[in-house]
Structures are given as structure tokens and as C-alpha cells.
Structure 1
Amino acid sequence: METQFFKDFDFTDFWNESSYSVRDYEEPFPDDELIISIEEELGYKLPASYIELMKLHNGGLVEKSSFPTSESTSWAEDHIGITGIMGIGREKTYSICGELGSQFMIDEWGYPAIGIYICDCPSAGHDMILLDYSDCGKDGEPKVIHVDQESDYKKTFLAENFEAFIKGLRDEDEFDGE
């Protein structure tokens, strides 16, 4: 598959290939029909870089699970942590339209309805990673932000787009432990 995004990015050791990942995150590769129906259900156009990555590996736990921040969050002073990336689908618990997907976080946890929640965090729902469409509109290129439920849904900017977010993920051990 010819890629438009992630051209110089090495995905070796990026995904965590565990039975938990397969059971709760990894969806079959999405076809155009599914993508369109998911976009209609959520009310937003999915970023092309997200779709491309999901056509290579549709959701899953990640080994590179930390992203540096310029301000402290409930997770750490200098980074946030993610558990996994939600795939395009409805079948797995942690897919964007799954049982604990984006709409669930908005409806049940009170997260702001300004985009699509695409990554869960180790806090088990107390913070999430959001594709934020509030500046670009429902068909634009969303920014990636961290939303902290524990701090009155404080938003922390992470990346200009999904591709930059993925390329910016680091191993947890690159950060000093508490």
C-alpha cells in the first residue's frame, strides 16, 4: 500500500501484540463503507492520516505510550501516557464506536463533545486523547489534545495533527520516573 503519511516512520516495536490488544482493541481493517458510516455516526470526517494508519493496523495497545507536554498534567509533569489507540469500528470495547468508545466518554463521563476521543489512558477513563475539531470544523484537520476529566476537563495541546501525534509518541522509559 502506497502511503501518504508516516513515510519515514518505523513502526517496528510500535504496537503491543498481546492477546488483550487483539481482544479489546484490534478491529478488522476498515473498508470505505465502514469509514463513511462511522463518520456519519460520529458527525466528523476522520483525518486521512488516522484512516491510513488504521488500514495498516486497526487499533491496539502501543509500546510507545508517552507523549511529551510543555505543561504538567494529572499523569506527569512533562508527558501524558496512553494505553491504546482506538480503531475504526464498533465491535471491540475500545474502538471509536465501541462500548467504551468516543460517544460513551461524552455521554457517560461528560467529556466535551468537540471531536472524537481516539486514545484511552492508563487512568481508566480519567483522561483521554481527543481529535479536537473546535477550530477546524467537522470536516477539517483536527488538533490532538489531552483532556483531563480530573481537572475539570482541562485541555492540553499535544500536536497539530494525528500524524504528528503518532510520530511524537515515545517510550515511557525516556521520561524520568517519579
Structure 2
Amino acid sequence: MIFDPADESEYVGPPVDAEMIRRAEDVLQVRLPKSYVDLVSVQNGGVLRNRCFPTEFPTSWAPDHVCLDVIWGVGGAWGVDVVSPRLIAEWSYPEIGIVLGITPSAGHDTMMLDYAECGPLGEPSVSYVDEDRVPRRIANSFSEFLHGLVSCRTYGDDAD
């Protein structure tokens, strides 16, 4: 289970259907990865159970990992199609793709589906964007990212 089973937060969006996915892709002008569509079809966003992802580089968050608290779904008040374009403009994130959700820093850093190399119809990687706004690849795909999430207790954090 990717999401926290006790999550009843505002970040869980309405049930997803094919039309919602199509509308989100139209707004974002990309094809969403199948693994992302599969995830939001089960639960449309929410608080993650395991929130930390290992990195091979230091970040403003930690010397060896990053943290993502929430993955946004599609549609609704917290859908990637609603929030991501606004945050890219507001926080001056690079225009490489889609902001995935909320980090503990609440905007100073983020994680994004990165379409820079694959183009809008390809399979995006996942990049971490720190305060310097330079995208750094942390996973080759969204699926790899999901499978690489671990409990933050692994790092002695109490984030989960």
C-alpha cells in the first residue's frame, strides 16, 4: 500500500475515470505515466505511508535522502492539473513537467515528473528540484520512484 491507510485528508481526490485523466493530460500537455494513472485509479492522491527516497547527493532536506509527504491525484482541489502549473510559476520551478506533491519544506524544494529528455508523450523520470532550481534525477520512472520509497525511520527521521 502506497498511501497511509488512515489518510482521510483533503488531498484524496474524487474517484478517477478516463475523462478526468484525459482532461488532466490536456491541461498539462503531457501523457501521464501508466504507473501514475494506475495509482490514482486506486486512490486519487493522498498522504504517503513511506515518504523518503534515497539520493546519491546531499539536499537541503538531508545528506542522503528526500521526503515527499503527499502525492497529488487528478481533478479536485489538489489535482496535479490544478496545482502544478500554479506552483511552477509561483516557486520558479523549472518547466520540465509536473510537480508531484508536497514536501516538508512546503515549496522550497519539490519532486517532479521530468519530461525534459523524453518529451510530452514519453515516460518521464522523477527529478528532485532543490532551492537552486536545478533538476536532479532520482528515479528513471514514476514506478521506480514508488518502489524506492522507504520509511523515513530508516534515516532516523520522524516524518512518518
TM-score bracket, shorter-length normalisation: over 0.9
Equivalent position SS for 2:146: helix
1:124-139 map, 5 Å: 124-139=106-121
Matched-pair identity in %? 39
- Is residue 125 of structure 2 the alignment partner of residue 143 of structure 1? yes
2:30 counterpart residue number: 44
**1:96 equivalent in alignment to 2:80:** yes
**Distance (Å, rounded) in 2 between the aligned partners of 1:175 and 1:73:** 14
Counterpart of 1:15 in structure 2 is: 3
Which residue in the other structure is 1:67 paired with? 53
Ranges in structure 2 where 5+ consecutive residues have no aligned partner: none
Amino acid at match of 2:126: V
Written as runs of structure 1 = structure 2, the 5 A alignment for 1:77-96 is: 77-89=63-75, 91-92=76-77, 94-96=78-80
Aligned match for 2:95, one of 93, 113, 117: 113
CA distance in 2, matches of 1:78, 1:130: 18
**Does structure 2 retain, via aligned residues, the 8 Å contact 1:120–1:127?**
no
Residues in 2 aligned to 1:107 and 1:65: alpha-carbon distance in whole angstroms? 25
Cα distance in 1, alignment partners of residues 102 and 87 from structure 2: 10
How far apart are the structure 2 equivalents of 1:155 and 1:27? 28
Report what 1:8 is aligned to: none
**AA in 2 matched with 1:159:** A
With structure 2 as the length reference, what TM-score do the two structures score? 0.92
RMSD over aligned CA atoms reads 1.5
Identify the residue that residue 105 of structure 2 maps to in structure 1: 123
Return the alpha-carbon distance in structure 1 between the equivalents of residues 61 and 136 of structure 2. 12
SS in 2 for 1:97: helix
TM-score of the aligned structures, taking structure 1 as reference length:
0.84
Runs of 4+ in structure 1 deviating by more than 2 angstroms, as ranges, are: 16-19
1:167 pairs with 2:147? yes
SS in 2 for 1:33: helix
Quote the offset at 1:120 in angstroms: 1.6
CA distance in 2, matches of 1:32, 1:108: 29
1: CA distance, partners of 2:145 / 2:115 = 15
